Structure 1
Amino acid sequence: MKIADLRLFVKVVELGSFTAAATSLDLPRANVSRRISELEQQVGTPLFHRTTRKISLTNQGEIYYHKLLQVIELFDSANEEITQSSCAMKGKVKLGILSETNEKLQPILFQFLQQYPDVELDLRVIQNGFTDMYQQGLDIAFHGGELVDSSELVARKILALDRCVVASQSYLQKNGTPFTVDELAQHQALCYRWPSGDLEVKWHFSGQTVKVNSRLESNSIAFLKDAAKSGLGIAFLPKVLVSSELQTGSLVSILEHELPIAEQGYLLYPQPKTLNQASRELIQFLLQEVPKLI
């Protein structure tokens, strides 16, 4: 019985399917299925109920899974005590980042790779942390917006995604500057389309909500930001993603006396016991460094 096969079993449980586990570990699905079947033969009992649509743990599989988590944690702890130096840390981490955040995250991730030269980072641009965590077999994923009820994943707040209303000087000179939330309805709005398909035409502030008239819609914040810089309308964007434009003056913040409803960015990952040492170290590194972006 190999520790790699035990880790594979845990990965299948955490991701909910042979296919997701195969994607996560860059293995053929047939390889995963065969190794799980061999493990079941070795322990002498079925670990999964299998149907054409999904798999679920048997009673014996449930007991085995929770016992294995303890065993793997002890095994990893023993290994980490032997290899304490940073140069000894090895492993591959699959990380999902939200589009348009790469410019902000690059320095942090480059610093991590320089600190741990034997770690391999597989970076994926994603739209939704909860969905892409399973579809792409990620170890860690960033997520913005509402949380999905999921007992399999840990969600840690990592960054406040405070919004701000922005426009170019040229747009404001031509169309006037709104001084109240209600006046936004009289302007040309640049609206974000969420991965769910919902169009964000209602902009929420702590005191009220206004329905805006959409001039341009996009699921790319970068596109909306460029449109605002070109004078096409007013946008409602996370402040951290337009901080450079606000500093240079290519965009200006308006209605600063109005407070948007607070939103959060999250770091998603499975239970730490199921992650390799490199993934656990990157989680702590991100939790320490990303909040400094504000």
Structure 2
Amino acid sequence: MDLNEAAVFVRVVQAGSFSAAARQLGLPTSTVSTRISRLEQRLGVTLLQRTTRRLSLTESGELYYRHAATGLGHLLEAEAAVTAYAGEPRGRLRVTAPADFGDSILVCLLERLRAAYPQINVDLLLTDSYLDLVAEGVDVAIRAGALDDSTLIAKRVGIACWALFASPEYLDDAPPLASPRGLGRHRCLQFTTFGKEQWHLSSRKSRLTLPMAGNLIVNDLGVIRLMTLDGQGIGLLPTYICREDVQAGRLIRVLPKWQARADPVHLVYPRQRFVPPKLRAFVDIAAQVLNELLADE
């Protein structure tokens, strides 16, 4: 089937003549005539009765025109809908991020996105698993840490630094702490997946590996943060989830010249020839927000 032949036929009927249709289509009249002839030959019927003064539809021509005009109308509507969709960020966007990424960052990001593009609807999935974005139908992921080689597009948007924090109440009653080696005299709250047996700390000039006693090991970063806020010890936490607590005086950064690992943070999404406007809009705003709120040290 050649849709061009059907489109030319519909235009000829609507224009009332080959020459008028040719002018509207920007084609030679001979080309229009040839395409109508090919269409009739392929269908094995006569669609148009041609005289020197006018064109008239045969019974078969009327039947074909009615269906062809309706079909082409649907195609034009589909093309217009896709063009409009491609031009303005809208629709549902599925986003995944680490479960402990930080409420304040995600709230800021989603609020900024909603204000700029109210027609984008977001499904946010918080999980510590690296989902198969294509298989799970996820549009974009926020990922912290080293990335495996893949066919995905990765845009670096900052660094997630880990540092030592404690509450003022804990520090008031705890032994003085002047260097990392003094941590052995403190109650250290350990995150299972990072620092279960030892903490690796570094400054501009030095690196230290400190064995941990393992008095309290928890596999949930949110619980470590809450226990740190509650004055139960010193927590090794990402700076981005402690920023508001530090600003409010609820937490104090301990040994501020020292930090643990620094994880790169990326926006990751499937490689595709045409990036949907909703995804492009999210990536642009997320990159801006994350660059502002993540330390790039």
- TM normalised by structure 2 equals 0.63
Equivalent AA in structure 1 for residue 121 of structure 2 = E
Equivalent AA in structure 1 for residue 111 of structure 2 = F
Tell me, in whole angstroms, the C-alpha distance in 2 between the residues paired with 1:134 and 1:232.
43
* 1:187 and 1:213 in contact (8 A); partners too: no
Partner residue, 1:245: 245
* Offset of residue 261 of structure 1: 3.7
RMSD between aligned alpha carbons? Answer: 2.8
* Offset of residue 230 of structure 1: 1.1
Q: Which has the larger radius of gyration?
A: 2
Mapping of residues 102-121 of structure 1, within 5 Å: 102-121=103-122
Partner residue, 2:51: none
Partner residue, 2:153: 154
* Offset of residue 111 of structure 1: 2.2
The verdict on how the C-alpha distance between 1:126 and 1:136 changes in structure 2, with shifts beyond 3 A counting, is farther
The verdict on how the C-alpha distance between 1:267 and 1:177 changes in structure 2, with shifts beyond 3 A counting, is farther
Mapping of residues 95-106 of structure 1, within 5 Å: 95-100=95-100, 101-106=102-107
Stretch deviating more after TM superposition (97-106 or 224-233) = 97-106
Q: For 1:63-82, what per-residue CA distance to the aligned partner results, in whole angstroms no more than 9, with x for missing partners?
A: xxxxxxxxxxxxxxx98995
SS at match of 1:243: helix
The verdict on how the C-alpha distance between 1:136 and 1:216 changes in structure 2, with shifts beyond 3 A counting, is farther
The verdict on how the C-alpha distance between 1:124 and 1:289 changes in structure 2, with shifts beyond 3 A counting, is same
Partner residue, 1:166: 165
Partner residue, 2:89: 89
Q: For 1:9-55, what per-residue CA distance to the aligned partner results, in whole angstroms no more than 9, with x for missing partners?
A: xxxxxxxxxxxxxxxxxxxxxxxxxxxxxxxxxxxxxxxxxxxxxxx
Mapping of residues 125-274 of structure 1, within 5 Å: 125-128=126-129, 130-131=130-131, 133=133, 136-147=136-147, 149-194=148-193, 200-206=196-202, 207-273=207-273
SS at match of 2:179: coil
* Offset of residue 285 of structure 1: 1.7
Tell me, in whole angstroms, the C-alpha distance in 2 between the residues paired with 1:257 and 1:79.
58
Equivalent AA in structure 2 for residue 116 of structure 1 = Y
The verdict on how the C-alpha distance between 1:209 and 1:154 changes in structure 2, with shifts beyond 3 A counting, is farther
SS at match of 2:291: helix
The verdict on how the C-alpha distance between 1:152 and 1:200 changes in structure 2, with shifts beyond 3 A counting, is farther
SS at match of 2:94: strand
* 2:103 and 2:241 in contact (8 A); partners too: no
SS at match of 2:273: helix
Can you give the 5+ residue segments of structure 2 that lack an aligned partner in the other structure? 1-78
Stretch deviating more after TM superposition (268-277 or 242-251) = 268-277
SS at match of 2:216: strand
Tell me, in whole angstroms, the C-alpha distance in 1 between the residues paired with 2:174 and 2:135.
45
Tell me, in whole angstroms, the C-alpha distance in 2 between the residues paired with 1:80 and 1:193.
50
Tell me, in whole angstroms, the C-alpha distance in 1 between the residues paired with 2:221 and 2:81.
41
Equivalent AA in structure 1 for residue 159 of structure 2 = A
* 2:165 and 2:254 in contact (8 A); partners too: yes
Equivalent AA in structure 2 for residue 201 of structure 1 = E
* Offset of residue 214 of structure 1: 2.9
The verdict on how the C-alpha distance between 1:132 and 1:102 changes in structure 2, with shifts beyond 3 A counting, is farther
Equivalent AA in structure 2 for residue 90 of structure 1 = R
SS at match of 2:245: helix
Can you give the 5+ residue segments of structure 1 that lack an aligned partner in the other structure? 1-77
* 1:272 and 1:280 in contact (8 A); partners too: no
Tell me, in whole angstroms, the C-alpha distance in 2 between the residues paired with 1:96 and 1:132.
11
SS at match of 1:162: strand
Q: For 1:167-186, what per-residue CA distance to the aligned partner results, in whole angstroms no more than 9, with x for missing partners?
A: 12222232213221122233
* Offset of residue 242 of structure 1: 0.3
Tell me, in whole angstroms, the C-alpha distance in 2 between the residues paired with 1:212 and 1:257.
20
Tell me, in whole angstroms, the C-alpha distance in 1 between the residues paired with 2:185 and 2:131.
36
Equivalent AA in structure 1 for residue 90 of structure 2 = K
- TM normalised by structure 1 equals 0.63
Tell me, in whole angstroms, the C-alpha distance in 1 between the residues paired with 2:82 and 2:131.
35
